[in-house]
Structure formats: C-alpha cells, structure tokens
Amino acid sequence: MSAGNNFRFITCSVLLIFSYFAENVANEPTPIVMWHGMGDSCCAFYSLGAIKEKLNASIPGVYVHSLKIGDNFLEDVENGYFMHPDSQIEMACEKIQQDSQLANGFNAIGFSQGAQFLRALVQRCPTPRIKNLISVGGQHQGVYGLPNCGALSNNACDYIRKLLNHAAYIDWVQKGLVQATYWHDPLNEEEYKKNSSFLADINNELVINETYKTNLLGLENFVLIRFDNDTVVQPVDTEWFGFYKPGQSVEKQTLQESAIYTEDRLGLKQLNEDNRLKFLSTSGNHLRFEWEWFEENVVDHYLRN
C-alpha cells in the first residue's frame, strides 16, 4: 500500500471511529439527579432507591445521581433538618461539578423540600446545566401549616401557627432549623421578606436578582407536580407556586395572581408564555403516586431526551 493510500486509510478509520463514538454518546440518555425530602435520604430502598431502580428500568442505561448531603446515611437525614439550605446547595453544587458523568448537563427531580432546593441550585449553580426540572410536591411559596393539621381543631392549628410565627424568624432558628427557612407567614409579609434567610431570597422577594431569573429561564421545562389530597403540605397550592393572599390565611391566590408572576420576578411568566412551565396534578397524599402515572406524564415527556 502506498504512503498516500495508507494515509487515506488511517484518516477514514479515524473518522469512522469518531463517528461511531459521537453517535453513541449522542444516543445516551440524559443523566438524572435526584434530591430527597425532609426525613428521607439519598438511597433508602423504600423511597429514592426504589425510584432509581424504576428509572433504570424505564430508561435503560440512564445514569442516576441521588444527592447525599453529608458523608453517610445518618448525616444525610440530619442535614435535611439542621443544615441551612444555603450550605446544602453549596455542597450539592460541588458534588455535581465533581461528577464527570454530569458534565454535559442533566435532568433533575426534587421531592418535597428537595424541589425548592434544586430550584435554588438552578438559580445559583448554573453549570453543569439542568435541562428539565421536575418538582414533586415542592413548597415553592413556603408553608404555613402543620402536617396533617386537618386532624386538629382550627383553634389548635391557629395556636400552634402563632407559636411558630413567634419563633420562625428569630435568627438562631433560621440558622438552625431548615423548615423555618421556608416558613411563610401571610399575616406578616414584611417580616417574612425581611427575615426569611432562604425562601425570600430565592423568590426574589426584596430585590430582583437578575442572575436567578436568567438561570431559571435557561430551563427547557419546569414541571410542577401537585398532590390533590396532600395533608402534609399546607397550603397545597404552594406546590404550584400558589399561596394565601397577603394579610390573611383563608383565601388563596394562584401563581398567576401573585406579584412574583405579574411582576415576573423570577421569569415564571415568561416560562409560562413559552409553554415551558408545566402544571401536573395527581390524586393521593404527599409524594404518593403510581409509577405508571409518573412514567406516562413525566418520564416519557421530560426524561427520555
């Protein structure tokens, strides 16, 4: 074989090999990152461990990274109560950036409080890029109520709320109890905006952080899943960015009626107008869903790309 033919043969071989690998990489499913909720952990066999197995079965070959906030199972659970969300998000950002399998971007699924933490990750840690963000029962406008409070009298619920209202915005409580950082008192919006050390910031309540808005608008889709019979999250409207109307705790308002939307403080109005903000609902209590429903409505539309 002449030198010229040999060169052409090598060149063609290299191009074929490159084309093969490029095609196979392009066909690989987009990786998935999951973030668990309060009282759960990254890998419990009865929760996110089981969901990871179902995702692997539904999307053969998909890489799933379930975030562990800490060095072990116990730390992961405890940090869901006692490590400030800002610190959790910094740790999650580092873990994701150190995972080479996520370097080209990923889809993300957040469960309960893990949903608003993942949204904050989108806003604060834009690389690698999150393509589709799936919020499963997330509390994006915070909470103002107790789990299964419906089992108590209204007077008892109101009394306990008042106790929480008295303590939730104290500095050491904000620093030491995760759930206080997304406690949202509609009776005193100004105190909430001033003293909420996490939720008020990521919702651009006081000032508009344009970086937060730009990064959130970088999503291909933002999917909000609400549980219609949720007795854990109060009010359930928060799972679709709705909440109580300011100044009282009876009447609700939708996202579209709120200032966060009408002033487009986060880019949600733009996402909605672009048909990239999705509202899904399912019957059942908090985080209780049939896998067939999730596969048909979420996996098939947002996770197979």
Does residue 277 lie within any of the structural domains? yes
Cα(25)–Cα(203) distance, integer angstroms:
37
Residue 170 has pLDDT above 70, yes or no: yes
Question: Of these residues, 41, 47, 66, 112, which one is catalytic?
Answer: 112
Q: What confidence tens digit (pLDDT) does each residue in 57-103 have?
A: 999 999 999 999 999 999 999 999 999 999 999 999 999 999 999 99
Does residue 52 lie within any of the structural domains? yes
Q: Which of 44-58, 150-164, 289-303 is modeled with the greatest confidence?
A: 289-303
Does residue 12 lie within any of the structural domains? no
Does residue 1 lie within any of the structural domains? no
Does residue 296 lie within any of the structural domains? yes
Does residue 11 lie within any of the structural domains? no
| CATH classification at residue 126 | 3.40.50.1820
Question: Of these residues, 40, 201, 230, 237, which one is catalytic?
Answer: 230
Cα(89)–Cα(198) distance, integer angstroms:
11
Cβ neighbours of residue 271 closer than 8 Å, sequence gap 6 or more: 216, 217, 219, 222, 277
Active site residue 84: no
Does residue 8 lie within any of the structural domains? no
Q: How many domains does the chain have?
A: 1
Q: CB of 184 within 8 A of CB of 196?
A: yes
Cα(194)–Cα(128) distance, integer angstroms:
31
Residue 5 has pLDDT above 60, yes or no: no
Q: Lowest-pLDDT range, 13-22, 91-100, 103-112?
A: 13-22
Active site residue 264: no
Parent domain of 83: 32-303
Q: What is the dihedral of CA 120, 123, 126, 131, to 10 degrees?
A: 80
Q: What confidence tens digit (pLDDT) does each residue in 247-297 have?
A: 999 999 999 999 999 999 999 999 999 999 999 999 999 999 999 999 999
Active site residue 286: yes
Does residue 256 lie within any of the structural domains? yes
